Chains A and B, each alone.
Chain A
Amino acid sequence: MTTEQQEAWLAAMAQSLEIELDDARRAELLARFSHIAAMAAPLMDYPLDERLDIAGVYRP
C-alpha cells in the first residue's frame, strides 16, 4: 500500500465508521496504520495453503 492508498483507506474507514478526525489525529492515525502496514506486507506475501485453517486452542 502506498501512502496515498493508506490515506484513502483511512478516509473511507473513518467515513463508514462515522469517526470525525482533526488533522493532528489523522496524521497520528496514518503513522500508526503505516507501521502496521509495513508489518503486514511480508505476511501477505507469505504463501499459505488454501486449506490452511485458522489456529484454535491446542487439543490435548
Chain B
Amino acid sequence: MKLQDLSISELRGALVRGELSAREIATRTLHDIERLNPHINAWTAITAERMLQEAERIDALRRSGQPLPALAGTPWAAKNLFDIAGHTTLAGARLLSDRPAAARDGYAVRQLHHAGALLSGMVNMDAYAYGFTTENSHYGATRNPHDPGRVAGGSSGGSAAAVAAGAVHFALGSDTNGSIRVPASLCGVFGLKPTFGRLSRSGTHPFAASLDHIGPMARRVADLAAVYDALQGHDPDDGFQAERPLEATAPQLHRGMEGLRCAVLGGFFTTWCDDEARAALQRAALALEARDELQFPEAELARSAAFIITASEGGNLYLPELKRQPELFEPNSRERLLAGAMLPAAWYLQAQRFRRLARQKFQTLLSRADVLIAPATPCSATRIGEQEMIINGQPLPPRASMGMLTQPISFLGLPVVTVPLRASNGLPIGLQLISAPFNEQACLRAARALEQMGITDARPAEITP
C-alpha cells in the first residue's frame, strides 16, 4: 500500500487502528522525497529531524489512547516563504539566504503542527513570489512531475510539484496574483485560495500586503477542505485578517451541488486561453449544468490594477536592498522591482480605489450564480526556458502572463478552488471555481461534485528514475 493511495482521513484511520505508525509514515515520506526530489527539484530543505519528532508526538498520543487530531500523521510541505523555527525564510531569494533563522513557526505552520501534520520541509518558489513559472535562477527550476521538461507554474511551484509527485498529501502556498492557482493548474492538483483576509498570513514573508493570501493544495477535495479547516483561526498578529468565525467546510462536502447555481465566466476569461482550456471549461460547465455565460467587462482593468499594486508594493518592500546590494537580486526581477518602486502614487491609488468599484460590479454576477467557472491558466505548462506562449494570437511571456486569468479574481479577493482536468495531450490544465466572499464551502462542494463525477484528474504523476 502506498501512502499516496490513502486520503488524510484514511491515513488517520490507519493510525487509530494501529495499522501504521506516524514514524513509519515519516520515514517512508522522507525516503520518497529522497527518491523523487532529484527529478523535480521541489524541496529546498528537508526537515527530517523535525518530521520524526512530530511523528513521535502522534505515536505517543496513540500509545496513550488519546484522540488523534484531524491531520494526524499527514505529511506536508511548506513554500519557503513560511517561517519555520530554526530555518531561514528564503522566499526563493538568494538575497534573504543570509538572514537569521526564524525564531518560531508562522501562524499557519503552528496550526498545522497542532493538527498533527508532519512537516517534510520547505519547497521552491519564484524569487520573492514574483513570477508564474518557478524558474528560480538561484535554486533552479522546479520541474513539472507530469513532464519534467516543463515548468511547474509559480510562484508556489515547489508546493504543487511536491503534491503532484505524490510525496506529500498537501502543501501550503501563497497567492498574490495566482501563485496557488497557476501551479495547481499546471501540475494537476486542487488548490484553494480563500477569501482575502480569511486566513492569517503572519509569519510569512510578504510580497504585496494588499493582495497576499495563503492556502493549501492537495490531490483530493476532502483533504483540501480538511487542511483549510485546520488553518482557520483568529490571529491578533495579522492586521488584515477579517473578523469571521470558524466555518468548517469538510462537513459540508456531502451536500454536493444542493442549491448551487453555476455559470461560466466568459469574455476576457475565454478569450485569453487556448482551445484546450476552453474544452476543459466546457466539460466542467456541462457537468455542473452551467448554462449561462456571464461577463465581467472590467476584468482586463482589474488585471492591470493588480499588476500596478503588486509592482508598487513589491518594489517598495525591496527598495532598501535594491539600493544597498542590487547585485544580490536575480537579473529577471531587479529592474522589474525597481520600476515598481518608482511608480507614481496616482497610479497606485487609482488601482486601489478601482478595486472597490470592481468588487461592487462583480457582486452583480455573484447574485446570479453561486459558483463561476473560468480557466485558471491560458494553457498547459510551457517548456522550461520557453520565453513565449501564443495566446489569442499574441506572444506572451509565461513568467509574467501565465497568471493573467487568476489576477483579476485575487484582485477582487474572492475565494477560488482550482480543479485539475487533463488536456488532450495528457497535460494537466485547471479551472477556477469562484464564489462570493467567505463562501469557500460553495467552491469546495462544486469541486467535490466534479471529483465524484470523474471530471477532475489529480492522480499523482508516475516518476520513473
Contact = CB atoms under 8 A, between A and B. Distances in A.
Contact of B335 (A18, A28, A44): A28
A19 B346 CA distance: 22
Interface residues of B, number: 42
B197 interface: yes
Contact of B308 (A40, A48, A57, A58): A40
A55 B301 contact: no
Interface in A23-60: 25, 28-29, 31-33, 36, 39-40, 42-44, 46, 48-49, 52-55, 57-60
A58 B197 contact: yes
Contacts of A8: none
Contacts of A36: 307-308, 311, 339-340, 343, 347
Given A54-B349, A54-B356, A58-B242, A42 B336 contact: no
B357 A52 contact: yes
Interface in B234-260: 240-244
Contacts of B352: 54-55
Contact of B354 (A25, A48, A60): A48
Contacts of B173: none
Interface in A12-27: 13-14, 17-19, 25
Contact of B307 (A39, A44, A60): A39
A17 B344 CA distance: 14
* SS class, residues of chain B in contact with chain A: helix
Nearest to A31: B335
A52 B335 contact: no
Category for how many chain A residues contact B: 20 to 34
Contacts of B242: 57-60
Given A17-B323, A55-B356, A60 B342 contact: no
A18 B354 contact: no
Contacts of A42: 301, 304
Given A53-B353, A58-B242, A58-B437, A43 B347 contact: yes
Interface of A: 9-10, 13-14, 17-19, 25, 28-29, 31-33, 36, 39-40, 42-44, 46, 48-49, 52-55, 57-60
Given A40-B308, A58-B437, 15 more contacts: A10-B342, A17-B323, A18-B323, A25-B334, A25-B335, A29-B335, A32-B339, A33-B343, A39-B304, A40-B343, A44-B347, A52-B357, A53-B353, A54-B355, A59-B242
28 contacts: A17-B341, A19-B323, A29-B339, A29-B342, A31-B335, A32-B335, A32-B336, A32-B338, A33-B339, A36-B343, A39-B308, A42-B301, A42-B304, A43-B301, A43-B347, A46-B301, A48-B350, A48-B357, A53-B356, A54-B352, A54-B356, A55-B352, A57-B240, A57-B413, A58-B196, A58-B413, A60-B242, A60-B244
Closest 9 CB pairs between A and B?
Answer: A57-B197, A32-B339, A39-B304, A54-B352, A55-B355, A58-B437, A55-B356, A13-B342, A28-B335
